[in-house]
Structure formats: structure tokens, C-alpha cells
Amino acid sequence: MARCQSFGGPAAASVGVKGGPNGDRWYDCMPMYHGTGGAIAATCMLEGITLCIGKKFSTTRFWDDVRDSNATALVYVGETARYLLAAPESPKDKDHKIRVMFGNGLRPEVWMRFVDRFGIKQVSEFFNSTEGVFGLINASRGPFLATSVGHHGGILRSFTRNYYVAAKINHETGDLWRDPKTGFGKRNPLAQGGEMIVNVPDETLFSGYWGNPEATNKKFARDLFKKGDLWYRTGDALRRDEDGRWFFVDR
């Protein structure tokens, strides 16, 4: 619940979804045990936003359920958007009240086609994990931020220069690459990308995996660039372009 509370207010504000008697209505047919669907359900309860719960995801019933619920926002994961786009076109494709869609994993080749076909004004794509210490969110209202998972302006890029690092990966082992002679790793240019690692002061910043200290320990890289440093491993490869846009590369 602490994670949901820290996520709830800022996420709702950044997405532009508001609570209250005349506020937004958020349609959620994603599994509640999963991070995306569960986080939105908790956010709605914490922020006073009407939650419209779909029994399950159905390509044929999705837009009818959205219309019946009078929802103004919806939750997605990337594959569900692809399934909806693959369905036959209908004169009712834009007959809904949705202005914001929130989720993650929307493929670049699907993004603009989906927005154009269904008349969505804003895509709020995020990058995060339930237990992670590195998160991004992108409220895209046009082509500049389309297909990205976040954006950092010049000042934020300066502040986080040595905090977020793209580390070179050993593709044979899946681990971080280390020089055979020195034992140290290598930073890739963020424009090139690599596994995103986060500089942390100590291990308490990560809550860890319950009853599994071995898995918890694997989330950290020690003595990577110098003796005594400590890095949290996201396990995901991202890149950031010269305009500060973050793009997902691989998991």
C-alpha cells in the first residue's frame, strides 16, 4: 500500500486524471494482482476517482464496456492495444469519452495508428516495476513524445548525470560486462543505451524480495566502476536521445 500511495497522487496528477463527484472515470479490465491494473485500482481509491471495473479483457466487448461505463480514461498493456488495433474497423471506433489511456508496453508501430484510429488525445506510457527504484512516465499529446517512455529536461539530465547510467551488458551471460583485467564495468553513452542501473547509497532503498535474500542480492552490482560503489540493476535496457526522450530497448 505504501508503494501505491507514493505512486497514486503523482501518477494521477501527471496523467491529468482528477477525482471528485464530477471527476474522471477510469476503466480497468486488467488483472488486479498485476502491477498496472492493481496500481490504478489503488490510485482510484486513494484519489477519489471513479473506478469502472471490467470483468476481463475482451477484444469484441472492450469498446462497448468503455461506452457503457462512461469512462474518460482507460488502462492498457501493450498487447491489448495491439489486439484492439487488429480488430475490424467500425464506425463506432471514436464513439467514446476516453481522452487518456495509461499503461505500458505500447509498441512503436502500434502507437500512432491506435491514437489516430480511436481518437485518443493523450497516451500516458510509463516505465517501472512493482519493486523498482527507477521509474519514468510520458504524457504524450503529440508526435514529439510518441513511442517514448519518459522525458527529462536539461536541468534534470544534469542532476542525474551520474545517477542513471546505461551499463554495457555481457550478452552471452546476461550479466553486466566487466573487464577481465580490472574487473570494472563500462558505461555506455545514454544515446546508445544499455542496462539501466541506478546509483544508490545503500541496499535499504530497495525493499527486496520476501524470503529470498539471494534474489534480492542479485539486484545489486558492487564495485562496478570503482571500489565501494553500489548500483541497483533494473534488468531493462533503455536509451535516452539528445532531446531527453527515453526509449525502451529490451528486457
Same fold, 2-151 and 154-250: no
**Quick one: pLDDT at residue 1?**
57
Is residue 77 within 8 Å of 110, Cβ to Cβ? no
Grade residue 2 by pLDDT with cuts at 50, 70 and 90: low
Averaged pLDDT score across all residues of the chain = 88
Domain ranges of the chain: 2-151, 154-250
Over the stretch 107-147, which tens digit does the pLDDT of each residue have?
999 999 999 999 999 999 988 766 667 788 899 999 999 99
Max intra-chain CA distance, the chain: 64
Q: Which residue has the cell 508503494?
A: 3
Q: What is the pLDDT of residue 88?
A: 95
Bigger pLDDT: 10 or 141?
Answer: 141
Q: pLDDT higher for 149 or 129?
A: 149
Q: What is the mean pLDDT of residues 226-243?
A: 92
> Which H helix or E strand runs over 108?
helix 108-118
**Residue 218: its pLDDT value, please?**
85
In the predicted model, is pLDDT for residue 208 greater than 80?
A: no
Is residue 22 very low, low, confident or very high in pLDDT (cuts 50, 70, 90)? confident
Percentage of residues of the chain with pLDDT beyond 90: 57
Do 208 and 214 meet the contact criterion of CB atoms below 8 Å apart? no
- pLDDT class of 54 with cuts at 50, 70, 90: very high
Of 4, 96, 2, the C-alpha closest to 41 is 4
Mean pLDDT score, 47-65: 93
State the average pLDDT over residues 150-179: 90
**Per-residue model confidence (pLDDT) at position 131:** 63
pLDDT of res. 9: 61
Q: How confident is the model at residue 8 (pLDDT cuts 50, 70, 90)?
A: low
Name the amino acid, one letter, at 87: A
Residue 116 burial (CB count, 10 A): 10
CA torsion through residues 54, 31, 44, 27, sign: negative
Whether residue 167 has pLDDT greater than 80: yes
The reported pLDDT for the residue numbered 61 is 95
Per CATH, which fold does 154-250 belong to? Luciferase; domain 3 (2.30.38)
C-alpha cell at 24: 474522471
Give the pLDDT confidence score for residue 117 in this predicted structure: 97
pLDDT, residue 3, reads 57
| pLDDT for 249 beyond 60 | yes
Length of the chain equals: 251
As assigned by CATH, the class of the 2-151 domain is: alpha beta
The pLDDT value given to residue 211: 82
Global pTM reads 0.85
Contact assessment for residue 140 and residue 126, using Cβ atoms and an 8 Å cutoff: no
> Exposed, middle or buried: residue 229 (CB in 10 Å: 0-12, 13-18, 19+)?
middle
